[in-house]
Structure 1
Amino acid sequence: MDTSTRAAKIPSFQQTEINWDNLDKTKLYVVGAGMFSGVTVALYPVSVVKTRMQVASGEAMKRNAMATFKNILKVDGVPGLYRGFVTVITGAVPTRIIFLTALETTKAASLKLVEPFKLSEPVQAAIANGLGGLSASTFSQAVFVPIDVVSQKLMVGGYSGHAKYKGGIDVARNIIKTDGVRGLYRGFGLSVMTYAPSSAVWWASYGSSQRIIWSALDHLNDKGDAPSQLKIAGVQATGGIIAGAVTSFVTTPIDTIKTRLQVMDNQNKPKASEVVKILIAEDGWKGLYRGLGPRFFSSSAWGTSMIVCYEYLKRLCAKVEEV
């Protein structure tokens, strides 16, 4: 049996996937830290715009994403688009290590568990990837939430009546002084409710859509040739866009409520239900979807960039099989 015949019998997704056991973990963490830091630099301003829109009050509520972006540049210049960035990038490395480890180990274990049920490939991928995303997000929240609370306060400092701080340490010191360490975990429950399901939906959507796309392409590939690097990146990017669209629509309301709670002064501690009432009173039900545009763009752009980089990173860090 020649190589082309063997390739024809192996689905494309199996030719492109690299299992956790076949990765050089040290190389993955070191190279990955640099790669994801670069993506964060490029997309961070979108997060700042989204956060500003979610906490806006008065006249600022009428601004769309572009108007909010221009206002930040007018008032604070380019540095205003990177408020809280140092705090975020500092916490990104340990958060990513926890996330990727939990993601891949859970995916591998889940695939073994669902294998006996003889489900279709897209369904198996959705379950395994979804459980992986859920597990990864849940474990990483312990590091991510304090970073998120501090960075959110820096993003909105001096905006719509919010206090202005000198930096991340100043924010953390102020929170601990007035509300104890638990103040750094304000919105923890909502963060888990936002990011864990969000991560599960994103990875489930990505895993299943990628299988469906590969299946369609395999039907068109009569020769059974191995997919090119360009085709692999294209399929992964398309899967990332689909996952971003689904996730942003499902989770934006919870994200808006969470952001409101995290940036409020320590003296004002409304319940999540009260925040919902305020948003609806201010802007109707669409108030729950404030920042949907930037969130969709951020989710799609970040997710697509992240997954293409991550899948490429896995190929770079794959162990060389000895002949």
Structure 2
Amino acid sequence: MDTTSRAAKIPSLHQTEINWDNLDKTKLYVVGAGMFSGVTVALYPVSVVKTRMQVASGDAMGRNALATFKNILKVDGVPGLYRGFPTVIIGAVPTRIIFLTALETTKAASLKLVEPFKLSEPVQAAFANGLAGLSASTCSQAIFVPIDVISQKLMVQGYSGNVRYKGGIDVARKVIKADGIRGLYRGFGLSVMTYAPSSAVWWASYGSSQRIIWSALGHLHNKEEAPSQLKIVGVQASGGIFAGAVTSFVTTPIDTIKTRLQVMDNENKPKAGEVVKRLIAEDGWKGLYRGLGPRFFSSSAWGTSMIVCYEYLKRLCAKVEEV
């Protein structure tokens, strides 16, 4: 084997980051839909617990995540942990296709944009990944917000006086009847304000932390010694946990306000400022951080699972190059 062929077969750090142009898009979308649906099944109960904590009132306000989890099981059993799940899983496929396409195309364009500035790799990664996350989240909100509104209402139906529904279609029908199509986009501005910056912070934190970790391990510029698959997964998982911690702390207050707005009955339409005042009156400033524990766990667990699966998916769907 000649040296050129041998070098091409060594999976250096840079080869673990597969560009959009080198991916089989059809395979990515098909396999990715199944893979991420599986992750959603596993982590969906955490979202239900978080939402219940954010809208809690009266005695329920004092419950922590474990107590809320036990109460859901006691009252509704295991199905209670999956309220609204069918709606979410149906909407997840088109949402993720839009998200991943915007993410990868924006990331590739952003890296080319900052290349002339000769910035350090962690800074370049933070900028490109952050801008990509912002773009991807903003583009996917048109589908995500109505799905989010419907699923949130299903998650809290019958809880703390909330209306009961027969399913996702029933929610959509009643919301449209009471408030028109715009009712399905309640909290759209806050949702964009929550998820777009959240996505930007998550991807920026992940991109930069991953390179800092690789640098500490001596692999950032070492193209001769290939990192093992176990080490690659470990670094990606560590980056996901760090990104989840940063993101959950920064965005939980906005997420709490958004959730409150989305689950309220159509006849009660307080503004965001009124929701903030009520939360502070009920529970002080810490009221804005209701559900922080589940949100941190959800963000870290989902982010870590998602990024490990996604990076594996990209390697699985990479086009085979002839050597």
Q: TM-score, normalised by structure 2?
A: 0.96
For 1:53, the aligned partner's letter is M
- Does the CA contact (< 8 Å) of 1:12 and 1:218 recur in 2? no
Residue 40 (str. 1) matches residue 7 (str. 2): no
Structure-2 change in CA distance of 1:11 and 1:24 (3 Å): closer
Structure 2 unaligned blocks of 5 or more: none
> 2:176: which partner in 1?
176
Q: Map 1:6-85; keep pairs closer than 5 Å.
A: 12-85=12-85
- Does the CA contact (< 8 Å) of 2:52 and 2:156 recur in 1? yes
- Does the CA contact (< 8 Å) of 2:252 and 2:288 recur in 1? yes
Aligned partners of 1:234 and 1:3: how far apart in 2?
Answer: 29
Q: Deviations over 1:216-238 (max 9, x none)?
A: 11269999421111111100000
Structure-2 change in CA distance of 1:220 and 1:113 (3 Å): closer
Q: Map 1:163-202; keep pairs closer than 5 Å.
A: 163-202=163-202
For 1:164, the aligned partner's letter is R
Aligned partner of residue 218 in structure 1, secondary structure: coil
What's the offset of the Cα at 1:30? 0.1
> 2:156: which partner in 1?
156
For 1:260, the aligned partner's letter is R
What's the offset of the Cα at 1:322? 1.9
For 1:24, the aligned partner's letter is D
Residue 252 (str. 1) matches residue 252 (str. 2): yes
For 2:231, the aligned partner's letter is K
> 1:116: which partner in 2?
116
Aligned partners of 2:205 and 2:11: how far apart in 1?
Answer: 19
For 1:78, the aligned partner's letter is V
> 1:140: which partner in 2?
140
Q: Deviations over 1:160-213 (max 9, x none)?
A: 110011100000000000000000000000000000000000000000000111
Aligned partners of 1:303 and 1:222: how far apart in 2?
Answer: 27
Aligned partners of 1:205 and 1:78: how far apart in 2?
Answer: 34
Q: Deviations over 1:117-156 (max 9, x none)?
A: 0000000000000000000000000000000000000000
- Does the CA contact (< 8 Å) of 2:12 and 2:225 recur in 1? no
- Does the CA contact (< 8 Å) of 2:13 and 2:220 recur in 1? no
Aligned partners of 2:139 and 2:259: how far apart in 1?
Answer: 20
Aligned partners of 2:121 and 2:11: how far apart in 1?
Answer: 10
Aligned partners of 2:245 and 2:82: how far apart in 1?
Answer: 25
Over 6 Å off, 4+ runs: 219-223
- Does the CA contact (< 8 Å) of 2:11 and 2:226 recur in 1? no
For 1:202, the aligned partner's letter is W
Between 157-166 and 220-229, the greater mean CA deviation after superposition: 220-229
What's the offset of the Cα at 1:16? 1.1
Aligned partners of 2:267 and 2:220: how far apart in 1?
Answer: 62
- Does the CA contact (< 8 Å) of 2:214 and 2:220 recur in 1? no
> 1:261: which partner in 2?
261
Percent identity reads 89
Aligned partners of 2:52 and 2:73: how far apart in 1?
Answer: 13
Aligned partner of residue 266 in structure 1, secondary structure: coil
Q: Deviations over 1:4-48 (max 9, x none)?
A: 9969xx995313110000000000000000000000000000000
Structure 1 unaligned blocks of 5 or more: none
Aligned partners of 2:219 and 2:198: how far apart in 1?
Answer: 32
> 2:292: which partner in 1?
292
- Does the CA contact (< 8 Å) of 1:198 and 1:251 recur in 2? yes
Aligned partners of 1:205 and 1:232: how far apart in 2?
Answer: 17
Q: TM-score, normalised by structure 1?
A: 0.96
For 1:259, the aligned partner's letter is T
- Does the CA contact (< 8 Å) of 1:12 and 1:214 recur in 2? no
What's the offset of the Cα at 1:3? 7.6
For 2:197, the aligned partner's letter is P
Q: Map 1:299-314; keep pairs closer than 5 Å.
A: 299-314=299-314
Q: Aligned residue pairs: how many?
A: 321
- Does the CA contact (< 8 Å) of 2:13 and 2:219 recur in 1? no
Aligned partner of residue 26 in structure 1, secondary structure: helix
